[in-house]
Amino acid sequence: MNSQPSLARHLESFFHQRLTQQRNATRATVAAYRDALRLLVLFASERTGKKPCALAVEDLDRDMILAYLDHLEHSRGNCVHTRNARLTAIRSFFQHVAAIDPASIGVAQRVLSIPSKKSDVPMPHYLSRAELDALLDAPSKSSPCGRRDRVLLLFLARTGARVSEALCVEAADLSLNGARSHVMLRGKGRKQRVVPLASDLVAAIGNLLRESGIARHEHVPVFVGARGERLTRFGATHVVRRAVATASERMPELARKEISPHVFRH
């Protein structure tokens, strides 16, 4: 008889079977769901006094989930969008629980009935042409890191790509052939789309590939860190913050704006 608590078994099967094998979820989705459920398990462990490995499905009842969601907003400072994203991961897990464990259907139904929280939709932030030009001019042109930063910022601005899409681009995804130049972007849910590339971006990418010693058709990332590994989302955010800090010296209004990689998409 398996003495492993049902919650541990269900979490294991959720990630290894439902997400990976059945849904063929992307690495980003798996990581987001893992973080949401990890935080929930730690929260429930602290509330119940049980070790995480000793928790049962019944410990994650509706009241526990609601308390966790309030904790995200009031203690961790998460916005409503993040709260709802965490709830989406929890719902997906409990749909899995309901399908494989009939004894837990009641708990699952009560959790699945928790509604998403409504919020006001803020006006999107955007950059003026002068502000964008100032940010593009901010990275140092005398260092490989600075030249990479400029190409990344230019890529985000010219293609409207999500930061995750930009960081996933490999040399093989690029076609740098004059007026027909384009890039294959892989978005949410494994959706693909082809985006044309402006001439200044084509030239900048070509220079970056030559400087990095990357052949056009190699399956290697275009945007890499200091050690040659694929640049992370945190790294891209740092690139933007560094550009904002430099550009703000001659355009102080930039320091008063909330500028993230996603703002370039707007």
For the annotated catalytic residues, the residue numbers are 162, 188, 262, 265
CB contact at 8 A, 155 and 147:
no
CA distances from 44 to 3, 14, 57, 233 (A): 20, 18, 11, 29
Look-up: residue for tokens 């992307």?
26
The CB-side HSE value for 208 (13 A sphere, CA atoms) comes to: 26
DSSP states of 133-184 as a string? HHHHH-S-SSSHHHHHHHHHHHHHHHH---HHHHHH-BGGGEE--GGG-EEE
Residue type, 4: Q
DSSP for residue 187:
-
Q: Would strands 182-186 and 174-175 be described as parallel, antiparallel, or unpaired?
A: antiparallel
